[in-house]
Structure 1
Amino acid sequence: MAAAMASAAERAVLEEEFKWLLQEEVHAVLKQLQDILKEASQRFTLPTSSSGGAVKQENFVLSTSGTDQVKGVLTLQGDALCQADVNLKMPRNNQLLHFAFREDKQWKLQQIQDARNHVNQAIYLLMNRDVNYQFKTGSEVLKLMDAVMLQLSRARNRLTTPATLTLPEIASSGLTNFKPAGGSILHNPGAMFEFGNQRYEVSHVHKVECVVPWLNDALVFFTVSLQLCQQLKDKISVFSSYWNYRPY
């Protein structure tokens, strides 16, 4: 009898703690997530020049580890790559080749636009409930966290694993003056392309990178937000281990 009473009392305490979690802590976490993601969203706000109106251009130095065969500078204007100058030193004779974007062309970075859209969708999901809204079940919270985490994961993945273009896609974009021969894939040794009425084959591949600080900031915000979502999910799931039926 005493054991049964103790069990009932313990369950009553747990149910009160779970009720407090749903009514108080969940909203506190949602507010924290909103603040973090609003900061992340501001990183995608395109800076304007001192004269106003036009989006400010930012220059970034391209680098590659362990070799100086590829050097260059690219210019980013918001979510568009508007200029790029690349010097390539040929491995056999050290001949220096220079490549540049056409002045009348820009390369829209779709992954930045997509990441921005996913962040805004996550913020919408978090703000879609009034501050006085009462969550009645843990399942309701878990579904919300899963939806938010899905948008954040998609945003992070778009920035960390950008898509590469095939040679036909680059040729059709008008960014360059060469055309592909066949359907070879970019970055694949053996790929063929034509330039200046001459046929060339890709023999070496060099990967160059540059650091864009405001995109790095956004990635940090995504990671912190995903951790907060998972922590809230874990707290709710812990309660299920104390009773056989699922109170959420």
Structure 2
Amino acid sequence: MLTRAPLFCLIGVQQAQPVNTLLVGVVCDEASHRFALPAGGAEGAAKQESFVLSTAGTDQVKGVLTLQGDALCQADVNLKMPRSNQLLHFAFREDKQWKLQQIQDARNHVNQAIYLLMKRDVSYHFKTGSEVLKLMDAVMLQLSRARNRLTTPATLTLPEIASSGLTRMFAPALPPDILVNFYINLNKLCLTIYQLHVLQPSTTKNFKPAGGSILHNPGAMFEFGNQRYEVSHVHKVECVVPWLNDALVFFTVSLQLCQQLKDKISVFSSYWNYKPY
């Protein structure tokens, strides 16, 4: 029986591999569809979806964001200024859209995973376990990168936010003491608004510029345009995007299926490497 084990295991690999890779491919394809990004003109434009911004325990920031695939095509925001309760309204200019690079990158990575799975002919049979492991590692790398793009927003310095093209998206223009940043965090589209005050020369002796961060806290200092600022207030609001949640679930399921196939190969390899004497 031991002499038959390698042949049995190779047959097991050949039978398990098409089923598992097909399942992974189907799940990856479902994840790709959730991004609603047209691959070509034949599919037409992605539909627009509007989401209401909210945060627990405060109504200082209210607004509606409109998402079309990987583009934020409209943002209509009201900010109630602390202390004065003055209402500040700002919205995207009609000729502007803001690309959300995280969404675009995530779909590119999952599409690369699909390509790796589907580039071989359907009748192709893997000859060794290491060949399957190499494929699964490559697919899992792309799926992990796709998931990480949604779960790990970029860390930015305040000068980077201040110099971003996002500051020129609004009509009327943002006041010089307001910074905004949009990003994806898991299944949420987030808006952060920073209110600033200018640091006078007499108060800059303890000036310590803040480094990169996803979210800067009040008291963070930075220099921009030969002027030094300090963050006085931070407002963070967000909205849940259901299809981002679906995509994250599909990424997790795909990674689990890949790992299951790798585990099967490891079991088979123990038979191949077994030496009875």
TM-score (norm 1): 0.79
**Secondary structure of the corresponding residue to residue 235 of structure 2:** coil
Deviation at 1:153, TM superposition (A): 0.6
Partner of 1:220: 249
2:51 partner letter: F
Query: Which of the pair has the greater relative contact order for Cα pairs under 8 Å at 6+ separation?
Result: 2
**Secondary structure of the corresponding residue to residue 56 of structure 2:** coil
| Greater gyration radius | 1
Partner of 2:130: 139
Deviation at 1:235, TM superposition (A): 1.3
Residue in structure 2 matching 1:114, options 79, 102, 105: 105
Counterparts of residues 73-152 of structure 1 (less than 5 Å)? 73-152=64-143
Query: Taking structure 1 as reference, are residues 209 and 14 closer, same or farther at Cα in structure 2, changes over 3 Å only?
Result: farther
Q: Contact between 2:102 and 2:150, CA under 8 Å: does it hold in 1?
A: yes
| Structure 2 spans left out of the alignment, 5+ residues | 180-197, 200-208
Residue 30 (str. 1) matches residue 21 (str. 2): yes
Partner of 2:238: 209
Q: Report the aligned-residue RMSD.
A: 3.1
Structure ranking higher in helix proportion: 1
Partner of 1:175: 169
Deviation at 1:79, TM superposition (A): 1.2
Partner of 1:61: 52
Give, in whole Å, the separation in 2 of the partners of 1:64 and 1:243: 57
Partner of 1:5: none
Structure ranking higher in strand proportion: 2
Deviation at 1:78, TM superposition (A): 1.9
Q: Contact between 1:22 and 1:134, CA under 8 Å: does it hold in 2?
A: no
Give, in whole Å, the separation in 1 of the partners of 2:58 and 2:244: 26
Partner of 1:3: none
Q: Contact between 1:46 and 1:56, CA under 8 Å: does it hold in 2?
A: no
Give, in whole Å, the separation in 1 of the partners of 2:54 and 2:155: 18
1:76-119 deviation line (CA, Å, top 9, x unaligned): 12211121122223343444332322333211111111111111
1:227 partner letter: Q
Deviation at 1:166, TM superposition (A): 4.4
**Secondary structure of the corresponding residue to residue 66 of structure 1:** coil
Q: Percent identity?
A: 73
Deviation at 1:134, TM superposition (A): 1.9
1:130-152 deviation line (CA, Å, top 9, x unaligned): 22222121111111000000000
1:34-58 deviation line (CA, Å, top 9, x unaligned): 11112222222347xxxx9554321
